[in-house]
Structure 1
């Protein structure tokens, strides 16, 4: 029996660290990333190329990128809000650029000081730069506040679909949907991913969902049912969005991996090693609360990961 494979994209070293007041030292970051790779993570968002005065927690991103690139088979990703950030990211050697494009004008102005339409133009400029300098690098747009905004309120689904279409026309490789403010519910997730997939097809990218109101895993499962195969998550549930008040709570990587593995869906991640990756995170951010039901409860007696379930089915 062949199980489909899901890609878990770890965003804690960027989305998590930008949301805490303390700054993790560079050696601690590198040790944490090494532990994530040892657990089997194959895509890691290691930082953000923004001015250090805005996010001092991520001022060492170029050094972190260079270290992460030493791990073969790992896609090293960084967030870039503009062309200048993309230039710095390409200089550092990232494999993938992710661009935050908010569907909410209010959030877009607060987050990147540009309207959504201006961000589409910026995306086109970044794609041109990528084509000239590093054609193998992927450009992903994450549609922030796709499911609602704490600043604006409701976000029209038609606006999200049009924005995805405009970004694909601008040349981005993928458009994912982000529940930046933790407002989404499963029916909404199914509906919006279905509409976006109908509009842009295979360029539909990752689901970036939050657990702010306890619906993170339910929303991930809804996205899976609609054909999404890449999911952003953060170890220990670290992170949120500094420009979306009250939007704490990324989906916990450990709980998401457990859900998929228990369902027989291979993530390629070793859960025990993933739990162990919490240790360097704790050492680097002492006193910072970490979340996750599965690490606290432990694995069930007799639990088999997806690959061993496959062998059990055969025998």
Structure 2
């Protein structure tokens, strides 16, 4: 998980649950056995994901299914415990369908329930457009739109206040000015470092996005950059030279956060049209204290995004 600014910013109210439809879940997370499919919103053969709209306990729901990567530490079990069915053989080449043992054949599942119309649209396959936003455009178009929408980030405050996901926090600096919490993104199953994905969420609550950053925030950004890399090295044995550390613009939700992903992993939203390397952000602010107040920025928006409509109304697209 390119994503839209408008739909995505509501970011699920954190009523997101990973579930398995088996006996392990009795008395636990919501079961999917009663999920009734309405439509496939989108799918990706490359990323091996599918987004499904339907009903769960008579409520609208979106279910996201994602095949997990093959891990090196499971290869022995995979080769010794699987069954092969021959599909084709030609000279030295042969292809098979491999049926892996159940414990190696899990599908990562995310459930959004109850899902709003915005959630459904968020995951629906749509055309995207690249928006050019000047500093003036931000003040006159984007900022008023954000303020009118009043996108909730209560789920972020729940994390910061330890009311939710406290057990998932990898590292925390509690300082109110330069502190942050570091925890795994829901897109990472934490079973291997090849697709490592963590999020640093700042404690300060008055920074919405890249546009709010000035030179006064450099100590905060440097602290996240340094402490975050140190925590990942300590906990996952992954050096800084193998990390991609960046911010999104537009962001997924309007509370400043920083993405840490493994360099070789093509995480959603890591493309040049949306991702801004944290090292570059720091240097830009060192050169110009109000760099992101005036800089023209580019970002993708989906066809049904309300913000895109505002740019069209203003004749900026």
**Does TM, scored on the shorter chain, surpass 0.5?**
no
TM-score, structure 1 length as denominator? 0.30
TM-score between the two structures when normalised by the length of structure 2:
0.30
More strand by share: 2
Structure with bigger gyration radius? 2
